[in-house]
Amino acid sequence: MKNIKILLVIYFIGSANMGFAHKYQYPVKPGTREWSKLLSTEEMINVCQLPESTLKSISTNDLLVSCLEYPLLLQYTASNSPYEGVISITNIFNGFNELLNRFDYPVVLVDYYKKANVTETNDNPNMGAFAFNFLALELLIGDERVINKLDVYTQKQVIDIILDKYGQKKELDEYFGFYGR
């Protein structure tokens, strides 16, 4: 319990500057001319790695947002198991490697998920990608590397948040469908 209190204090002190987003801007993205010149998945993975200086200087919140905007994140859907697909991506992308090693990551992730707006699909022109990205966020919440770092009280809170989001997604079944359940 003492550890989670320390994490919360550090997180809230660090989040005082969150009004200014400093997420990483990927220089090469799908749909660009530069991206179309990449000939292999390995080249795509390499061009999307975060610079070492960014990994060390970016806040945990901005790193999380940068990871959720990772250009190859949706590749998890090519796996037989979405969970295993997300875990695979966390193992090959250096942004996730850094994120998972930060002591405040679980608290930042839970707070981000708590604030995530499921109903954003109503105004989102790319609702399919939004739904898959939302599922990736939920799969990260369910990762044992996150859950095991939370105290029992926070784990119960996460379950309540997940149930609330599930109810919201049920209302939007046309967007979330199978992946919303």
Q: Is the pLDDT of residue 1 over 60?
A: no
Cα–Cα distance measured from residue 7 to residue 60, given in angstroms and rounded to the nearest whole number? 12
Cα–Cα distance measured from residue 165 to residue 167, given in angstroms and rounded to the nearest whole number? 5
Instruction: Round the average pLDDT of the chain to a whole number and report it.
Output: 83
What confidence tier does 152 reach under pLDDT thresholds 50, 70, 90?
A: very high
Q: Which of 35, 32, 59 is nearest to 47 (CA)?
A: 35
**What is the pLDDT at residue 22?**
85
CA angle 27, 103, 4 (to 5 degrees): 135
Q: Residue type for 170, please?
A: K
Tokens representing residue 109 in the block: 């992730």
Query: Where is pLDDT greater, at 120 or 86?
Result: 86
What is the torsional sign of CA 73, 142, 106, 170? Answer: positive
**pLDDT tens-digit series, residues 53-104:** 999 999 999 999 999 999 999 899 888 999 999 999 999 999 999 999 999 9
How would you class 172 by CB atoms within 10 Å of its CB: exposed for 0-12, middle for 13-18, buried for 19 or more? middle
